[in-house]
Amino acid sequence: MKRLNVLLTASLLAIAIACNNNPKTSGSETPQEIKTEEPKDVVLHDYLKEGNKGIGPITSFTQPEFDQAVADEGNKLFIVKCTMCHEYGEDKLGPALKGITKKRTPEWILNLMLNTEEMFEKDPDALALKDTYESAMVSMGLNEQEAKSILEYLRQEDAKTN
């Protein structure tokens, strides 16, 4: 019986600690007094400006102000359109995309998404990728805004991996 009491006491103590381990409260505040942290500004890196621009409709790119809704839409599109061949952090059928916005210009990335076939026929960087991976990327039928959304999602993810 003594052993059971010790176990129950230890369990209740663990539950009490877990329930009261909220760093925003000391346990004495009412819900109205609990202060929430202000959302921190998203810190993003600038797109790579120098380098191969690729072949296609995007000849120049102006970095827009970050828009979380655009990045969120890009995340959804990435999941639906890209994850069958790409993962963010590891190679799959195609290369991992971690750090892509730090290695390639936004024009090149957009042209690869929008003008896939011609890029894999004529662009030297795309041709090098084609030689490295088992299959070439296929066109996913993205429009320019969808491609820019995916690009902004990748930029947001790349900012997390300084």
Identify whether 110 is part of a domain.
yes
Distances (CA, A) of 17 to 25, 30, 33, 36, 55: 13, 18, 21, 21, 59
Identify whether 143 is part of a domain.
yes
Identify whether 111 is part of a domain.
yes
Alpha carbons 72 and 150: distance in angstroms, whole number: 9
- Give the closest residue to 101 by CA, choosing from 41, 151, 50: 151
pLDDT in tens, 12-48: 444 444 444 444 444 444 444 444 343 445 556 677 7
pLDDT in tens, 133-152: 878 889 999 999 999 999 99
pLDDT in tens, 104-123: 999 999 999 999 999 999 99
Identify whether 155 is part of a domain.
yes
Give the domain range for residue 112.
68-159
Could you tell me the pTM of the whole model?
0.71
Number of domains composing the chain: 1
Instruction: Reply yes or no on whether the pLDDT at 7 is more than 60.
Output: no
At 44 the pLDDT is 63
Give the CATH number for residue 91: 1.10.760.10
